[in-house]
Amino acid sequence: MNKVVEVIRKRRSIRDYQNKPVEAEKLKAILGSAQFAPSANHKNPWQFWVVKNKNTLAQLAQATPWGSFIAQAPLAIVVCADETLSREWLEDASIVGAHIYLEATNQGLGTCWVQNRGSKNPQGEDSEKYIRNLLNISDNFRVLATFPIGYPAEEKPPHSDRDYQEGRIHLVE
């Protein structure tokens, strides 16, 4: 099996992290892989806010009703995109998110996509607005998702051939 397929199969949503810091070179590899993502018309509208401060991580965990586990991660990457640069910012930032997911897995780390766009926090406030205020992000940036990153404290099996669903494939010849 080739390395790419192996990493794709190992990719799982991790919501429990060890109390162990992420090495700077691993974070740099993740952020580098994210920036190698394709974008419409090569606009690259994305930017990243890397949060390591424990108090800020705890506040970030309150951005959605389902992101409480962000607080226990050693860091989180908030993926944003400047919507004034590209009307395809959503697609571009989503591809970046996939790259983050896969490179975190490749580095032996875990992450989970915590959706912010279109979400509300438990108090009913728009998740994007909450995060822009928390991290002092300009209003022209859309906040797609938060990726807590750390060493997994849970073990999940890799995907297998049993997960392949032939019925989802429609061949048009």
Tell whether the torsion through CA atoms of 24, 27, 33 and 36 is positive or negative: negative
Is 11 within a domain?
no
Q: Is position 139 within any domain?
A: yes
Query: Which pLDDT belongs to residue 118?
Result: 95
Nearest Cα to Cα of residue 79 among 120, 44, 124: 44
Nearest alpha carbon to residue 57 among 134, 122, 162: 134
Which CA distances in Å does 22 have to 43, 100, 103, 111, 127?
30, 14, 13, 12, 26
What is the chain's percent helix, strand, coil content, to nearest 5?
A: 40, 20, 40
Identify the pLDDT of residue 162. 84
How many domains would you assign to the chain? 1
Kindly state whether residue 163 falls inside one of the protein's structural domains: no
CATH code, domain with 68: 3.40.109.10
In a domain, 168, yes or no: no
pLDDT, block means (10 residues), the chain with 173 residues: 87 96 98 96 96 98 96 98 96 98 97 97 96 97 98 91 86 92
- What are the tokens at 22? 């992420």
3-state SS assignment for residue 165: coil
Question: Is residue 6 a part of any domain in this protein?
Answer: no
Instruction: Indicate whether 166 belongs to any domain.
Output: no
With 0-12 / 13-18 / 19 or more C-beta atoms within 10 angstroms meaning exposed / middle / buried, residue 69 is middle
pLDDT score of 59: 98
pLDDT of residue 108: 97
- Write down the pLDDT at residue 142: 97
Domain residues for 62?
Answer: 17-152
